Each structure stands twice: as structure tokens, then as C-alpha cells.
Homo-oligomer: A and B are copies of this chain.
Amino acid sequence: MAQSRILNIGLIGAGRIGSSHAQLIARAVPNARLAAVADPVEGAAARLAEELKVDAAYTDIAQLLADPEIDAVVITAPARFHAGLVEQSAAVGKAIFCEKPAGMTLDEIDRVRRAVETHGALFRIGFNRRFADGFPQARAMIDAGHIGTPQLLRSTTRDPGLANPAAVAPWTIFLETLIHDFDTLNFLNPGARAVQVHAVADALVAPDFKDAGLLDTAVVTIRYDNGAIATAEASFSAAYGYDTRAEAFGSAGMVTAGDLAASSLRYYGPAGLAGDTVRADTQSMRGAYTAELQAFTDTALGQPTDGPGVEAAGEALRIALGCIESCGTGAPVTLDIVEAIR
């Protein structure tokens, strides 16, 4: 594989983010080739394959994994299948890019870790914020010492709307939304580990679904072993669009990343100044999605790049699991205990 100039990628899961990643692999990552698509939903893989002129489409994922021409997989199946798919993919020697989370439990993360280590597989997780506009630059400033020791951090994710509250799986806000913020905070506090979390969450967007377990708004406080105190905050419904920002404050300064403006256009009229805002992740994160797939492809082809792996997946997940625990007790949770009980 290292000798090949093009990485043949099989995509597993042809849903919303799968389709988006498929397009980027097919069109925006020059040294990647979308070679196959698999999805158990009848017709889903075929439709996407036809649209992107991909040769192979499977409803049976095993067939994709069995194809020796496939060098790598991009896993965009539902979260509960991630760990199992990683194990299967690693076993047949594929390089693996897996959407977040890598697993739903720390046991699953352990299984992922073992599979990857046993088979020497490349593993990357889709923590896109690490590649988003302003975020890697923020980390570079931190690595260069410009903020000194991190003391106060903040990361926000607000989605533009909640179409179907009934379809939201329990704890989604922690396991699938805020997990980006947990990773962002870990990323912006390099070398430190979260030691305690406290979560406050509610159904403020769709209160009728609270009894059914919906949490659509949350604020999480995280303490790190270097003393830093971080806040992660999410909402499933921002009237103005898609909002992902971060801030890291330390003994020597502060960095901020994330921009709400959709373009450089500004209008000045009788009502004052105005501009458009980012409306969707595919708008502001297109560059990040491309960059993370590019970095994965380059690494798989023998050119090492930085990117989040199993370690980062586990570190973010333990915070998310701590939040679930904290929601139950209503109190702060020490993360060592979360790990001990698995």
C-alpha cells in the first residue's frame, strides 16, 4: 500500500455524513479514490455509488471488507456499530478512518485499541474541529507557548435546528455533539487530562420530549490535572445557524477560533450593519472534512501527519461518560471512578 500513489477507499454507511465524506473523497482528496460504498439499507449504497461513479456498491459490508483492492475504510455507520466495524476492518488489514465516537463505552474503546494495535492498523477518528479554520492555528500558538499555561477554556457547538426530536438517541448531546467539544478542549490543553466533570443538561428546545429522555441543551464543566477549568456547551437549535467556537486562556494570553460570519460581505443600511451567518456544518466545515480525510490518506500512503487516534477517542469518551454519570447524580463526577466502573 505504501508504494501505491492512490489510496482506494471503501465507505461504510451512506447516510448524511457518509454521503458528504464520499463526495469529498471522490472529488477533493487527489490521492484518494472512492472505490466502493457499502450500506445495509437497500439501495443506499447503489444510489451514492451511481452519483459518484463508484464501481462497487454493496449491501453486505463483509463484501467490501473482503475486497483486496480496498486499502482503507471510512466508517460513517451509526455510532453503535463503530467499534465492531473497526475490529473487522483492522482484522483484514485496512487503514481506518472512523467517525466519532469510536465506541459507546470504554470497553468498546479498549476493543478498538486492541484491534488497532494487534493488526498495526492506521486509525483516525473524525474529530473535525482539529482541522477546522482557526483551530489548528490556535493549537500551534499554544504549542509555541503564547498563552502560557492553560487556565480557562471554552468550546461551543450549536446546531442549526432539531428536525425530529423523537429520533434522537439517549445521551446524543454528550456522545455525538459535545464529544467534539471535549476533544477540542483536550486538543487545546495538550498533555493535560480531564479529572472531573459536571454536566447540566435539559430539553429547552423541545421540552415535550424531555420525559422521553431528550437532552438538547447542555453546559459541562471540566477540571484538568493541570488546574485548567473548561466549559463545553451545546444546543441543538441556534436560530442563526451553525456555531462552533473555542477559546483558550492561559497565564500569558488567549487564543480564540471560530467565526459566525458566512462570508466577508457586510451591509450598512438604515438599520445598521448586517451580514450572513454560517448555516450548516457542510458550509463552514467543508475544509475541515477535506483536511482530515487528506491527512488520513497521506498517512495511509506513507506520509505521516498529525491527527486524532484511539487515545483521543478514549479521552473524549471518558468525559462524555462522566457527563452521563453526572446527569444521574446531579453532582460532579471524578473521572477515575468512571473508568474504574467501565
Contacts and interface: CB of A to CB of B under 8 A. Distances in A.
Contact of A152 (B26, B151, B217, B263): B217
A221 B223 contact: no
Interface stretch (A107-115, A254-262, A311-319): A254-262
A271 B238 CA distance: 12
A167 interface: no
B202 A227 contact: yes
B259 A239 contact: no
A267 B239 contact: no
B261 A273 contact: yes
A158 B134 CA distance: 23
Given A152-B233, A229-B219, A233-B152, A268 B251 contact: no
B151 A235 contact: yes
B255 A265 contact: yes
Contacts of A273: 240, 260-261, 274-277
Nearest to A132: B264
Contacts of A269: 146-147, 239-240, 252-254
A266 interface: yes
A237 B251 contact: yes
Interface string A144-173: 001111011010001000000000000000
Interface of A: 26-28, 30, 133-134, 137-138, 141, 146-149, 151-152, 154, 158, 198, 200, 202, 204-205, 207, 217-219, 221, 223, 227-229, 231, 233, 235, 237-240, 249, 251-277, 330-332
